[in-house]
Structure 1
Amino acid sequence: MKTFRKALIPFAFLPFKNIVYAQKKDSIPLKVRAFVADKFPQTRDFNLEFTQTTPYKFTSNLNGNELPENKVKDFHQVKANANIYFVKNRKWQLSTSLNYRYTSINTENPVSDYQQKSDYHYFSEAINANYFSKLFNKIAVYSASVSVDGSEQHFERIRGILTGLIVLKANPKTKITLGAAVFIDPSSQVPVLPIFTYEHKFDNGWVADILLPKKVLIRKNIFSNGRISFGSELDNTSFYLYRSDKTYEYRQVEINSGAIYEHNLGGYFIGTLKTGIRATPNARVFEKQESFKDYVFEAKYKPSFYFNIGISYNLFGKPKN
């Protein structure tokens, strides 16, 4: 169940990234709005990144039968996404999120349909609506998101997410929020996921940046236009498979631990380098109409080193001089 909860986390943060940005931008006091003007915003308006891992071994089973130990000789991925706003005012925000992910996996011994060299294309699109109000005399943000996803062949799923967030504390040094995401998804067994964010600026220049359950980081500005971070982030890989006239979904959760360096390249562009250890505790293939726990194939991967390079364009996150 814990792994299943993690598998749902990346879907939860599709609207939540917009919520965090929105509540900082238009709803919190003026003394905290400088947080939004940071040249490294939470939400990137346009982003392109490439990920490569070193080879790693794994064990697996198919329909309950153990398979011989295998090895992923090559795993690389390209991601592109955009967050576009249609309406932005003090009470409402309406936006769309467009995402594309290309995944290439090459295994050493393709002993089943799920362990062969394949290139996978995954698309998702979402409409997000955010509303800002007050609850118990605290700033509150309510969000509704409807998304569709699929492959290059056709659309596969429609999902819905409802999110509520309350700002418990917001001042120049500390920001704390608490909320929950409710999933409307036939494949989900976790109806509600709690969300907690904490940011604190220490006197020595380091900043604790926690967004549970997505990331735990400590970061600091370095040089004139750089920032370095250490910690762990959750990510996911999912795509659709077509076997014997049936549609399956492959889903895995990744825990990336290591260092992140971001550099303001001038204008609205930010370059990012990430490296460290990637742990993938569980990956499963299940029929589209079933849930994550009703799987036909499961793999457990050994940790590997990963490298990620990206560039983003942030029209709404104007860099400081």
Structure 2
Amino acid sequence: MNKKTLFSTLLLVTIYGTALSQVNEEDQQKSDSLQQKATLGIKEKFPRARVLNFEYGQTLSRDFDSELFDQEFQDGEIKAQRTFTASANVPIFKTRQWGLTGSLNYQFNEFEFDDIESTDVSVFEQNGIVNFHNFSAAISSTYFSSLFKKPVIYNASLIVDGNDEGVERLKGLVGLSFILKRTERTTLTLGAIVFIDPTSQLPFFPTFSYNHRFKNSKWELDFILPQRLLFRRPVGKNGRFSIGSSFGSTGFYVNVDNPNFAETFEYSQLEIKSGVIYEHRFSNYLIGTFQGGLQNFISNRLTEKGEPTQDFIYENNQDPTGYFQVGFSIDPFAGKKK
């Protein structure tokens, strides 16, 4: 699973805890109702958790410079970066306290480079268009229980990923999330994630969420550490407007045809997107999303497959640029749940 999808999977544990806080005391006595409401809460916040989700995004032109083995390497222009993602999440088995879900994900990345001076060594940057195809599959198990008399959810995921050259790696994670505080307008949750992945820079990762609906206002604050900080409000009967920032990543495998290098590398791009988001529910089954604004690149590194990210051989620096993204989510079971 590429790092962006793995990061989204990690956050599901935190979101489950947030969704639990929106269930009243009577519902908490019914595990089946608790599980259903928690699942709906996740889908409301994260399109990639819905049954089917499709996204297309594009960044605008920006300059970059790079280093290879801590030495100055190439520089030039990234005229555009285009990404298409398709994901599916299918319930496999469910009881009142336990659920098993299967997930599939496909991600296409396309870079368009220009003004790059040719060298004897080539990583993946070259004048023209370069494409990358990545696939992943995951099995996630979720268990609903209580801890310190508070609702708590345990999650474990097993992930296998690869690209059009074949299967590459097997990864996993385990985590939990529970509620620290719940009032009529404020929710506070705390959780933790443990990565089963030798390449992870942080084997243990705390999660935290804070949601607050302002008094006598349509606005609410939605903060999830470290994924996003948004101010949101409904627009009409079927729309929702958000403004703020979100942290994410783009990752894919790079096959290098050079006897002096390993055969397969992993490219990791960490980014912060700031701007606006508009979501519109066309029906019970179909939701559309548009977002756009400014994208800042924090870290862009190339690491040999299976090695820790801090042992990268290549990195580049990219100027901030504009971006936009459109998406559609389909949930064939939404009508039944309603």
Q: Gaps spanning 5+ residues in structure 2: where? A: 29-33
Q: Offset of 1:37 from its aligned partner?
A: 5.4
Decide which of 115, 119, 123 is 2:125's aligned counterpart. 115
Within 5 Å, give how 1:27-46 maps onto structure 2: 28-29=23-24, 30=26, 40-42=44-46, 43-46=49-52
Counterpart of 2:221 in structure 1 is 208
Q: Offset of 1:139 from its aligned partner?
A: 0.9
Q: Tell me, yes or no, if the aligned pair for 1:86 and 1:94 is still in contact at 8 Å.
A: yes
Aligned residues: 315
Fraction of identical pairs, as percent? 35
Q: Tell me, yes or no, if the aligned pair for 2:13 and 2:177 is still in contact at 8 Å.
A: no
SS, match of residue 239 in structure 1: strand
Determine the C-alpha separation between the residues in 2 that align with 1:247 and 1:291: 14
Determine the C-alpha separation between the residues in 2 that align with 1:66 and 1:36: 48
Decide which of 198, 222, 226 is 2:235's aligned counterpart. 222
Counterpart of 2:317 in structure 1 is 300
Counterpart of 1:281 in structure 2 is 298
Q: Tell me, yes or no, if the aligned pair for 2:271 and 2:297 is still in contact at 8 Å.
A: yes
Distance 1:36 1:172, change over 3 A: farther
Give the CA RMSD over aligned residues: 2.7
Q: Tell me, yes or no, if the aligned pair for 1:62 and 1:296 is still in contact at 8 Å.
A: yes
Q: Offset of 1:79 from its aligned partner?
A: 0.6
Q: Tell me, yes or no, if the aligned pair for 2:186 and 2:210 is still in contact at 8 Å.
A: yes
Counterpart of 1:132 in structure 2 is 144
Determine the C-alpha separation between the residues in 1 that align with 2:290 and 2:325: 6
Q: Offset of 1:188 from its aligned partner?
A: 1.4
Q: Tell me, yes or no, if the aligned pair for 1:58 and 1:299 is still in contact at 8 Å.
A: yes
Distance 1:195 1:274, change over 3 A: same
Q: Tell me, yes or no, if the aligned pair for 2:7 and 2:248 is still in contact at 8 Å.
A: no
Counterpart of 1:233 in structure 2 is 246
1:230-250: per-residue Cα shift (whole Å, max 9, x none)?
Answer: 111122111111113611111
1:32-85: per-residue Cα shift (whole Å, max 9, x none)?
Answer: 977865783433221001001110111210122112532101211101111111
Q: Using structure 1 for the length normalisation, give the TM-score.
A: 0.89
Distance 1:193 1:200, change over 3 A: same
Distance 1:309 1:201, change over 3 A: same
Decide which of 156, 161, 167 is 1:149's aligned counterpart. 161
Q: Tell me, yes or no, if the aligned pair for 2:124 and 2:130 is still in contact at 8 Å.
A: no
Counterpart of 2:31 in structure 1 is none
Distance 1:221 1:62, change over 3 A: same
Distance 1:197 1:189, change over 3 A: same
SS, match of residue 313 in structure 2: strand
SS, match of residue 24 in structure 1: helix
Q: Tell me, yes or no, if the aligned pair for 1:249 and 1:286 is still in contact at 8 Å.
A: yes
Q: Offset of 1:18 from its aligned partner?
A: 6.3
Q: Tell me, yes or no, if the aligned pair for 1:102 and 1:121 is still in contact at 8 Å.
A: yes
Determine the C-alpha separation between the residues in 2 that align with 1:222 and 1:181: 35
Q: Offset of 1:317 from its aligned partner?
A: 4.8
1:166-210: per-residue Cα shift (whole Å, max 9, x none)?
Answer: 122344422221011101102113111110011111130111111
Distance 1:287 1:114, change over 3 A: same
SS, match of residue 14 in structure 1: helix
Letter in 2 for 1:114: F
SS, match of residue 233 in structure 1: strand
168-177 or 307-316, which deviates more: 168-177
Distance 1:319 1:75, change over 3 A: farther
Counterpart of 2:107 in structure 1 is 101
2:72 paired with 1:66? yes
Q: Tell me, yes or no, if the aligned pair for 1:15 and 1:143 is still in contact at 8 Å.
A: no
Determine the C-alpha separation between the residues in 2 that align with 1:314 and 1:137: 33
Determine the C-alpha separation between the residues in 2 that align with 1:316 and 1:304: 38
Distance 1:150 1:9, change over 3 A: closer
Counterpart of 1:260 in structure 2 is 277
Determine the C-alpha separation between the residues in 2 that align with 1:254 and 1:317: 32
Distance 1:163 1:293, change over 3 A: same
2:6 paired with 1:11? yes
Determine the C-alpha separation between the residues in 1 that align with 2:66 and 2:95: 50
Q: Tell me, yes or no, if the aligned pair for 2:21 and 2:182 is still in contact at 8 Å.
A: no
2:55 paired with 1:49? yes
Q: Offset of 1:11 from its aligned partner?
A: 2.1
Which protein is richer in helix relative to its size?
2
Letter in 1 for 2:234: N
Q: Offset of 1:224 from its aligned partner?
A: 2.0
Distance 1:188 1:37, change over 3 A: closer
Counterpart of 1:186 in structure 2 is 198
Letter in 1 for 2:98: W
1:4-29: per-residue Cα shift (whole Å, max 9, x none)?
Answer: xxx96752431542663487379943
Q: Tell me, yes or no, if the aligned pair for 2:211 and 2:223 is still in contact at 8 Å.
A: yes
